[in-house]
A and B are shown apart, each in its own frame.
Chain A
């Protein structure tokens, strides 16, 4: 334990003082029409990751999310690529990224001459950006106190709440005690736990934020008549949303909750935080909250998480760009069956083979190795799934209607 607290490695210092565990170039496309070119630019370039927004009409939430990812501590430089007629402006994205002290470039495909010319131009730009960040990024010592770690769960079964999430909870306690930041989300999977959640608030302000986030999540589920449980959850033995919620909340460990952040916001201090990714009520109604695990992972990375834990009982093969995804399963059979994708077997907690506190420490040791540069399984497999969609958060109130 004390060894983990003393663990130190070399990180990448960003101009805002945050430290990265990777030094990546990020390519961002601003409409689906530019998606192929963006991926072709990044093809074969291990340290170049891609995100993008498919819509032609822009969306303030999606822009904030992309800018939070572009200014993530693991990102050193950015290239944004547009087709040339969409609403989202690649030039503005590049400007904001440059203002953060990172090198950034942009271009329109229509002005570069088409697919092949754009790919060649993009490859040349990223070679220049890579050279710049490799030579100019300051290296600094880093420890657990400099880490923000997110946690998402997906493909949950009866073991997730028993072993997978409690193991993450034990690790989160350790990370918070070390001065780091722990973030978990999925307030639609806290349904049924209102009173229980409020007792965990660090102070009155945090309590109010938790109550507001909970009440919105319940209004959302009632309004859209969809609760966050899927056929696979039921087949895996979960019967009700309340049961899934109790298991999901176990990933929050036992430390006080400092408050609620929204997508693209950074935790306002060290400690344990809840991320609210549920859409706000809006003149277009709620829309949809995260329709898959990948959007939740994007949201956690947008909070500055340099590493994201993904708890899955049934097994999943997704990964993520920007921040390594680490797969934890509470189901030892799933671990054995999908060992090529799974990073950590928390099922040993259930059989009594491994005490929970020790599981948390083992997970912390794995994360330290990954922070030092060892790739996680999804990272080594080059899984880079991303998902950025229309959503309304922090938009003007209902009464403003379409004049907003």
Chain B
């Protein structure tokens, strides 16, 4: 079975992976049916760009703004801490991309 990603609302520019994806075709289900080629490995629960997104453009999920792109994002790319930032929370931009662990309190672990 092809790797699947779930798009919640038709205006969403990202979809959530239901399965772990390797680079390659992903079947988008939910609000629209489409096939998008993942340009990299994306873990289940993470987001895939459904179209090209410009820097500073809103990232839309659940039909609503969840933050803004911090750099241009291509269709098929993994959308996470390295290219999407909250409009409110500054700290999340400092977290480790893969584990989500904080990097700004490391000096306390002595």
Give the residue of B44, B81, B88 whose beta carbon is less than 8 angstroms from that of A239. B81
CB pair B65–A157 under 8 Å, yes or no, is no
Total contacting residues, chain A, CB less than 8 A: 38
Q: Mark A324-360, 1 if CB is under 8 A from B, else 0.
A: 0000000101000000000000000011100000000
Cα distance, A57 to B6, chains bound together (Å): 51
CB pair B45–A157 under 8 Å, yes or no, is yes
Cα distance, A350 to B27, chains bound together (Å): 13
> Contacts A227-B92, A234-B81, A243-B61 given: A351-B99 contact, CB under 8 Å?
no
B3: Cβ under 8 A from any A Cβ: no
Chain B positions within 8 Å of A193 at CB level: 64
Give the residue of A234, A246, A247, A313 whose beta carbon is less than 8 angstroms from that of B95. A234
Instruction: List which A143-161 residues lie within 8 A (CB) of chain B.
Output: 157-159, 161
Name the distance in Å between B18's Cβ and chain A's nearest Cβ.
5
Give the residue of B29, B61, B87, B88 whose beta carbon is less than 8 angstroms from that of A246. B61
CB pair B6–A350 under 8 Å, yes or no, is yes
Who on chain B is nearest to A234 by CB? B100
Cα distance, A345 to B92, chains bound together (Å): 30
> Contacts A159-B45, A237-B43 given: A231-B99 contact, CB under 8 Å?
yes
B74: Cβ under 8 A from any A Cβ: no
Q: Mark B68-101, 1 if CB is under 8 A from A, else 0.
A: 0000000000011100111111011001101111
Who on chain B is nearest to A159 by CB? B45
Which residues of B line the A interface, CB within 8 A? 4, 6, 8, 16-18, 29, 43-47, 61-62, 64-67, 79-81, 84-89, 91-92, 95-96, 98-102
Which residues of A line the B interface, CB within 8 A? 157-159, 161-162, 191-193, 196, 218, 221, 225-227, 229-243, 246-247, 250, 313, 331, 333, 350-352
